[in-house]
């Protein structure tokens, strides 16, 4: 079965790294570097998992999370942050329907495990 993944982050090097890594793992991966780009891709395609940066340049990933879960309650969303562990942000993300909260500093293998976990749920 084809697993389609969308990665949303405003840092191009992170997007490139994640797209390449997940493609090697057998995923079909798209990337968006802004809220508008992500919204357009989500209207064009249904994704099994979305990895969504909480803090996009001047924009809120939590806003997109709310929109996405409203339109597609079954969407699996992992919030992605470079801020490290922040209990308040994590709580907000989970309250809005996120399926997990992961940090940018974690090993790629752990990120893959998190993605596979939400696919199995």
Q: What is the pLDDT of residue 115?
A: 94
Give pLDDT tens digits along the chain (121 positions): 578 999 999 999 999 999 999 999 999 999 999 989 999 999 999 898 999 998 888 778 888 899 888 888 888 999 988 766 667 777 888 888 899 888 888 889 999 999 999 998 7
- pLDDT computed for residue 58 by the predictor: 79
Long-range pairs for 105-113 at CB < 8 Å and ≥24 separation? 108/21, 111/18, 111/51, 112/21, 112/22, 112/25
Distance separating alpha carbons of residues 34 and 63, to the nearest angstrom: 12
Domains of the chain: 31-104 (3.40.50.2300)
Torsion of CA 58, 61, 66, 72, to 10 degrees: 130
- Distance, in Å, from the CA atom of 2 to the CA atom of 101, rounded to the nearest integer, reads 24
What predicted TM-score, i.e. pTM, was given to this entire model?
0.91
């Amino acid at each position: 079965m084809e697993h389609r993944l969308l990665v949303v982050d405003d840092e191009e090097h992170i997007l490139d790294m994640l797209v390449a890594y997940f493609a090697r793992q057998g995923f079909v991966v798209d990337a968006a570097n802004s809220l508008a780009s992500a919204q357009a891709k989500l209207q064009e395609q249904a994704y099994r998992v979305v990895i969504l940066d909480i803090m996009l340049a001047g924009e809120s990933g939590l806003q997109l999370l709310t929109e996405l879960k409203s339109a597609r309650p079954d969407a699996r969303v992992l919030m992605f942050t470079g801020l490290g562990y922040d209990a308040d942000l994590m709580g907000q993300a989970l309250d809005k329907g996120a399926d997990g909260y992961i940090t940018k500093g974690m090993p790629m293998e752990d990120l893959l495990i998190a993605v596979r976990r939400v696919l199995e749920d």
